[in-house]
Copies of this chain bind each other. A is one copy, B any other.
């Protein structure tokens, strides 16, 4: 097949964002309400067109900043901001009824934000529990409200990526503020996985993995009880051996 750049089918390319955080001991995703057709009035993932002179990561970072005010840092997690990585690309011919749109989905992990309604955008936006969006919140799994387009599928992929990736990487620290305690990090794992972990074994595991956590020197009592050491994320991004998720 000759590679003919002058005769190609035209596509629109967008980025969609799965922005996850941990609030009130639950994994939450950012959703925005659609103001226009199609799917008017339904909740959707934030996103938008990739501009003509912009690469995909920049477009995702720009959308993230527009929606949440967060800056993205793709590699180190020592500066404040959100972790951002590419997730997967969705391009079914009829995923958007108006035209052919290919969406490059990205996953962003953010610490709990002070503002309850994030972003300065005019559209209404909210944090919704991931389990509720995915239909696991109610006893009746059928009563969930679907997201617009194929965003349920994208959200599910993002949540699963986050759940599996914190097993073998230090990504869980992306849900924490720059300084955090071992207990706070453990509550992140518990919220993301939806399980209870043994605090003593967890403590020994994370403090015993070289390069995972480095003490910042301070302590805090913000969780009550005995003061806990404050840590920052260390340089190690891959955990070996991994933190094992208790079997489902």
Contacts and interface: CB of A to CB of B under 8 A. Distances in A.
Interface of A: 1-3, 5, 8-13, 36, 48-56, 66, 86, 88-93, 96, 98-102, 104, 240, 247
Given A1-B66, A10-B11, A88 B86 contact: yes
Nearest to A90: B56
Nearest to A102: B13
Contacts of A50: 9, 11, 91, 102
Given A8-B12, A13-B11, A36 B3 contact: yes
Contacts of A91: 13, 50, 55-56, 104
10 contacts: A3-B49, A9-B50, A11-B12, A11-B50, A11-B102, A52-B100, A53-B93, A55-B91, A55-B92, A102-B102
Contacts of A93: 52-55
A195 to B, nearest CB: 16
Nearest to A36: B3
B104 A2 contact: no
Contact of A1 (B48, B86, B240): B48
Contacts of A3: 36, 48-49
A171 to B, nearest CB: 15
B5 A98 contact: yes
Contact of A5 (B12, B92, B104): B12
A89 B92 contact: no
A51 B99 contact: no
Nearest to A100: B52
Contacts of A10: 10-12
Contacts of A48: 1, 3
A25 B101 CA distance: 42
A101 B50 CA distance: 12
Specify which of A51, A56, A88, A91 lies most central, judged by the most chain B CB atoms within 10 Å of its CB: A91
Contacts of A36: 2-3
A238 B8 CA distance: 39
A127 to B, nearest CB: 20
B56 A89 contact: yes
Given A1-B66, A12-B8, A51-B9, A104 B92 contact: no
Contacts of A52: 9, 93, 100
